[in-house]
Amino acid sequence: MSLLAHVRRVVATEEARPGAAAVVRAVRGPGAVDVRVDSPVDGGVAATVPTSTDVVLGLRRGRDQVADAVADIAGTSAPLRHLWADPDVTDVLVNGPREVWVDRGGGLERAAAPGPDGLGDVRALATRLAAAAGQRLDDAAPIADGRLPDGTRLHAVLSPVAADGACLSLRRHRASAVDLTHWRASGGFADQGEQVLRALVQARANLLVSGSTGSGKTTLLGALLALAAPTERLVCIEEVRELEPAHPHVVHLQSRAANVQGAGAISLADLVRAAMRMRPDRLVLGECRGAEVREVLMALNTGHDGGMATVHANTATDVPARLVALGSLAGLSAETVAAQAVSAFDAVIHVQRVPGARVVAQIGVLTRVDGQLVGEVAMQRRRVGLDDPGDAGRAGADLEPGPGWDRLARRLERGAP
C-alpha cells in the first residue's frame, strides 16, 4: 500500500474532522511501518516509518493523483465520469446506485441508466468525496456539506437517512464568473432590467436577492458584486464558499460546524459580527437562513450601505413572511423585523427559472402597513409564468414598472450615500 492510499484510508475512517493532525496520526500511527513510500534521498524504497521530510515530499508526489481523483469526481464510477465530462452539466444528483439526474441549465433530466452494475458503491464514493472536502461522513454524521478542492459544491446523505441508498448532490464550480452581460444574453432581462440593476449597485443600495433553490440567486449575486468599484472591499460570508465575484478585493469568511465534542462552532452570526470590524465597503451574506438575520439587519442599519444577501422565497411579495419567520428564530417580534427590514433593504430582486433560462422576475420594495412588513412589486417581468423557450431573450420579456416603482425610483434618485 502506498503512503497516499494509507493516509486516505485512515483519514476517511476517523471520527474527527480531517485535517493536518489527522494526516500526522495516519503516518505516525499503527500500520504506518507497513507503508511503502519512495525515498526522496536515494531513490529506493523505505519500509520504515517515514520522516517528516519523507511525508511532505511523498504527499507532494501524490498531489497530481489526488487532483485527478477529485477532478474526475466519480473515482471508479464510469457513468458519472461521462456525465461530468459534459461542460454543459451544472448539477449531478445521485439517488442511490441506479438513479442519476443532471441539469444542463434548462431543468433536471434523468440520465441514461448506469448499466447492470449500477454506480457501484455510492456510499464509499460519498465518503471519499466528503473526505476530499474536509468533512466527516459516517454513520454518526450521515450528512455532509462541503466544497471540493476544484470548487465543486458537495452535499451527501448516507442511508438509512437516505432511505433508498446514499445520495449525492454535486454542483459544478464555474471557472469564470457570470456577469450581467451573460444574464442578458441568456434572456434574464433586457434593457430596462439591466439599467435598473446597474443603477442599484452604483447607488450603493442594500439588496436582497430572493428565489427558490437552483433559481440563480448566488449567480446573480456574484454578477452584481462584480459591478462594485474596484477600490471597494467586499466581505463575503457563507456556509460553504460559492461566491466568486470578478472583483479584485474580496475577503471570504466561512462558517464551521462543531467538532465531535460539540466545540469549535463558528456561526454565520459570529461571522457577520466579525465582518463588521473588518472595514467592509460591502457586507455580503451568501444566504440568510437563520438567526443571523438579526445581525444582518443591525449591520445594514448602522451605516453599512451597499450590502447584499440572498434568501429563499417564492416571490418578492413573499419575502416579508420569510424575514419575519427568520427573525423569530433570533427572538425578534414581527414588528421589530418590519421596522428594521424597511430601513435595511432598499430593494428585493427575485429570480426564477423559466424553460431554458433563469430570469429576474420581479424587483420589489419593502414597506410597512399597520406596523406589518409587506412587499410591493416595483418592477415585474412581462408574462411571468407564461414563458416559452423562445420568449426568454425577447425584449417583451423585460421588466416593466409596477405599483412600487415610485418608491424604488426615489431611492435611485438619491444615489450613493
- According to DSSP, residue 146 is labeled E
HSE toward the beta carbon, residue 370, CA cutoff 13 A? 0
> How far is it, in rounded angstroms, from Cα 175 to Cα 172?
9
Identify the helix (H) or strand (E) that includes residue 366.
strand 357-369
> Where in the chain are the domains?
1-61, 74-173, 180-414
Interatomic CA distance for residues 222 and 241, integer angstroms: 12
pLDDT value at position 268?
A: 94
Q: How far is CA 16 from CA 13, 20, 134, 294, in A?
A: 9, 11, 10, 32
Q: Spelled out in words, what is the top-level CATH class assigned to the domain 74-173?
A: alpha beta
Tally of CA atoms within 13 A in the half-sphere of 302 that contains its CB: 13
CB distance 306 to 281 below 8 Å: yes
With a pLDDT cut of 90, the percent of the chain lying above it is 45
Low-confidence ranges of the chain (pLDDT < 50): 15, 33, 35-50, 52-76, 384-396
Contacts of 162 (CB under 8 A, 6+ apart): 96, 142
Query: Where are the extended beta strands (E) located within 158-247?
Result: 167-171, 207-211, 234-238
Q: According to the model, what pLDDT value does residue 393 have? A: 40
pLDDT tens-digit series, residues 315-334: 999 999 999 999 999 999 99
* Closest to 379 in 3D by CA, of 190, 251, 248: 190
* Per-residue confidence (pLDDT) for residue 339, from 0 to 100: 95
* pLDDT tens by residue, 42-83: 444 444 444 544 444 444 444 444 444 444 444 445 567 778
Cβ-proximal residues to 63 (8 Å cutoff; 6+ apart), any chain: none
Cβ 285 vs Cβ 210: under 8 Å: no
Fold of 180-414: Rossmann fold (3.40.50)
Question: What's the 3-state SS for 66-100?
Answer: HHHHHHHCCCCCHHHHHHHCCCCCCEEEEECCCCE
